[in-house]
Amino acid sequence: MQHVRLKRFAKSCLASVRPKFPDRKNNARLDDPERIGAIFPLKEWDCESPLKEYFPIQDWLLFHGSSPDNKTRLIVFFERTSHQLAVFWIVLEIRGSILISKETYHADYSKGSTFCAGGLRLVVDAPLRRWSLSFNGLMVDQTRLQDVHVRIAARFAAFTKPFEFPRDIGPSKFARRYESSGKPIRRIREDMRG
């Protein structure tokens, strides 16, 4: 009985997290370019583009890329806030140095499928799959404590297809995982009872 209630709870929570995309697995029609993944549905473009209106919640992105061969790492955080402002920070680890951008507010010029502010541009090339990043600005070298002019151009690509609920994980599996962990279930139950 507890498993059934937990399964319903997990299904309602997970359904609110992810938008529903067209089913690509169970299709009889292979002539539809969206279903076979040749073009990307409009819903996916909307999901990855800057929000058209500013809401009390923020619109933000986080990227992490690395190259283990030459010990290079890049972390980018971009957040759009109210009043057409954006704040971002970048951490670049390259050739033994760590460069960090100064976190300040910039005018937000995000539009269409591009997030843009203060010398940073993030462009959606393929929704939920590929992004282009370019930055031209000052960063602080943490080893020498001086400003360094940096130009970065990078492409981010997903190694796997986007996670889609309920196709990738069913509520039953989700509920079983919670059941096996034990302690979090008690907390969830206590929170639900008030």
Helices (H) and strands (E) in the chain — how many of each? 4, 9
- Domain presence at residue 91: yes
Rounded Cα–Cα distance for residues 105 and 107 (Å): 7
At 10 the three-state DSSP class reads: helix
What's the pLDDT at 125?
Answer: 85
Q: pTM, whole model, 2 decimals? A: 0.59
Listed range (18-22, 81-85, 113-117, 185-189) with the worst mean pLDDT: 18-22
pLDDT at 149: 93
Write out pLDDT tens, residues 81-131: 877 888 888 999 988 889 999 878 888 888 878 888 889 998 988 877 788
Is residue 189 in some structural domain? no
Q: Which pLDDT belongs to residue 6?
A: 60
Q: Which residues of 121-136 are buried (b: 16+ CB within 10 A; e: fewer)?
A: bbebeebbbebebebe
Q: Per mean pLDDT, which of 43-47, 132-136, 190-194 is the most reliable? A: 132-136
- Inside any domain, residue 99: yes
The total number of structural domains that make up the chain: 1
Q: Does any domain span residue 116? A: yes
Residue 73 lies in a domain: yes
Output the pLDDT for position 102: 81
Q: What is the mean pLDDT of the chain?
A: 74
Bridge partners for 99 per DSSP: 92, 141
Domain annotation covers residue 146 = yes
pLDDT of residue 39 exceeding 90: no
Q: Could you tell me if residue 190 is inside a domain? A: no
Q: Give the domain extent around 83.
A: 49-162
Q: What is the pLDDT of residue 52?
A: 58
In a domain, 77, yes or no: yes
pLDDT in tens, 118-151: 899 989 888 777 889 999 999 999 988 999 999 9
